[in-house]
Amino acid sequence: WRTCLPPRMRVGIRVHWRDGEGAMAKEIQRETIRQIALRAKAMGGRAMLVGGCVRDSLRGVEPHDWDLCTSASPAQMQAVFADARVLTTGLRHGTLTVLTDGGPLEITTYRTEGGYSDGRHPDGVRFVTDIREDLARRDFTVGAMAWHPKRGLCDPFGGQTDLKNGVLRAVGDADTRFQEDALRILRGLRFASKLGFAIEPETAAAMRRQVHRLDCIAAERIREELTGLLCGRYVQRTLMAYADLITSALPELAPMQGCQQQNPHHLYDVWEHTVRAVGQVPAEPVLRWAMLLHDSGKPACKTVDEQGIGHFRGHPRASLALSRELLPRLRFSSADTERILLLVERHDTPLGDNEKLVRRSLSRIGEARFRDLLAIKKGDAVGQGTSRDYVAQLFETEALLNRVLAQEQCFSLRQLAVNGADLQALGLRGRPVGEMLHALLDAVIDGRTDNRRETLLRLARTRMEEQHDK
Ligand code: ATP
Ligand code: MG
């Protein structure tokens, strides 16, 4: 297999023996692909690599998964893999999942798809023996190529040329393809954001004509594609160029576009500021979504004073309210929702410019959220395009955080030098135990006392006496 790869392909498919399980798993998988191809051949069929793995290999990028397609029928596949661990849940649509030591591997019988009366699922599939018929049902030319070790590349729609030119083009008639399945519109935007490709003008125009059909797509699928888009390397230009398509999926965000800030601290309108900020934070879904939503409440809060300066008082709360509606609609997990909401709500709240305030913030939200917020605040600050001082301040806050943590300064009950049992030994019972622990923790965080057992016990006794006297 390796020696007969075309030269560009060799870059991507070549085996790298690296340390670590990841490389090992990939190697096992590659061997499995070879075995599958051999088995398909043994039964008179053919197996080809198809879709994203061919596209990525041609780009010289290691694919994240390998999909195979075969001329063998589902029944033949099942017979050939009778001795293997397989999942047959997709078999009705021609997909057998082989569970290999390197992870699951999908192998699908060549197929075409029937009508799409619901605008998202084919009414039925028909198995075929010609790979070109199978490639014709795929959405974009760069993903509609298949590759066989002996026969080489099968590229009936000019995918290789589009790949070379960085163009995303629908296979066949673009309007029809998006009418069949509107999710393809968001897949296209995700690919544009991930690969940095330009969407071919006719394809983009068809996306715009058909985008209203997103209504019949399941919310979680929309969320997944938008998340992929937000985490793409070219997210900024995609969000700017296709803002109208994004707001078809997320209508709540439409007022951000063209909402001028009229404020010396901001160079851009709310949408452009947001887009720049999104591009600044690490490509982690929660951070990117929080950044997308952090100023979503601004348009509703805008006021302009006598000097013509724009103000957005209370906007974090308005953004929070909007996100509280939007996130459940897209069926985010409760853990992600909670993390995103906290970041949206607190994006404008100071974290602290001295150790005491940093300890206080840490005690409220913990280290992980503190670091998330720092990332959000940096993104926000850089996205404003004006205040370098503010960015510098955030780096100082980060240095303070690192110092507080490195010195193991106390900001939680867990770190406090006394515990509930110590206070019970002093005679406290029930709720006052917890109240006293928190009072002692507050004193330590504020620097009114050190975190030593004797000092804290002394302080506790004094407070008990004071309360007794009252
Ligand atoms: P990646 O896995 O890197 O996101 P991919 O191109 O492999 O990209 P997948 O979602 O893994 O995308 O799908 C594999 C292939 O199946 C695609 O390349 C495409 O040919 C086809 N495909 C997937 N979803 C659709 C769809 N909704 N409409 C048409 N073809 C699709
Ligand atoms: Mg894929």
Q: What residue's CA is closest to ligand 1, atom 9?
A: 52
pLDDT at 447 over 90: yes
In this predicted model, what pLDDT tens digit does every residue of 9-39 receive, in sequence order? Answer: 333 333 333 344 555 566 666 777 777 777 7
For residue 43, the one-letter residue type is M
Q: What residue's CA is closest to ligand 1, atom 1?
A: 52
Q: Say which residues have a Cβ less than 8 Å from residue 370's Cβ, sequence separation at least 6.
A: 351, 361, 362, 401
Question: How high is the pLDDT of residue 396?
Answer: 95
**Residues in contact with ligand 1 (CB, 6 Å cut-off):** 51-52, 67, 138-139, 143-144, 181, 183-184
pLDDT at 161 over 50: yes
Ligand 1 pocket, mutate which of 138, 229, 231 (most atoms under 8 A from CB):
138
pTM greater than 0.85: yes
Average pLDDT in the chain: 89
Ligand having the closest approach to the CA of 187: 1
Distance from Cα 376 to the centre of ligand 2, integer Å:
30
Question: How high is the pLDDT of residue 8?
Answer: 40
Ligand 1 atom with the smallest distance to the CA of 52 is 7
Q: What residue's CA is closest to ligand 1, atom 28?
A: 139
Question: How high is the pLDDT of residue 16?
Answer: 33
CA distances 460 to 320, 363, 417, 435, Å, are: 40, 20, 12, 11
pLDDT greater at residue 41 or residue 320: 320
Ligand 1 atom with the smallest distance to the CA of 55 is 6
Question: How high is the pLDDT of residue 240?
Answer: 97
pLDDT at 442 over 80: yes
pLDDT at 60 over 90: no
Q: What residue's CA is closest to ligand 1, atom 5?
A: 52
pLDDT at 3 over 50: no
For residue 385, the one-letter residue type is G
Average pLDDT over residues 77-99: 88
**What is the distance between the alpha carbons of residues 285 and 273, in angstroms, rounded to a whole number?**
19
In this predicted model, what pLDDT tens digit does every residue of 96-141 receive, in sequence order? Answer: 998 877 778 889 999 998 777 887 788 888 999 999 999 999 999 9
**What is the distance between the alpha carbons of residues 47 and 106, in angstroms, rounded to a whole number?**
11
Ligand 1 atom with the smallest distance to the CA of 144 is 20
Q: What residue's CA is closest to ligand 1, atom 4?
A: 52
In this predicted model, what pLDDT tens digit does every residue of 413-437 receive, in sequence order? Answer: 999 999 999 999 999 999 999 999 9
**What is the distance between the alpha carbons of residues 177 and 353, in angstroms, rounded to a whole number?**
54
Ligand 1 pocket, mutate which of 187, 190, 221, 231 (most atoms under 8 A from CB):
187
Q: What residue's CA is closest to ligand 1, atom 31?
A: 138
Ligand 1 atom with the smallest distance to the CA of 181 is 27
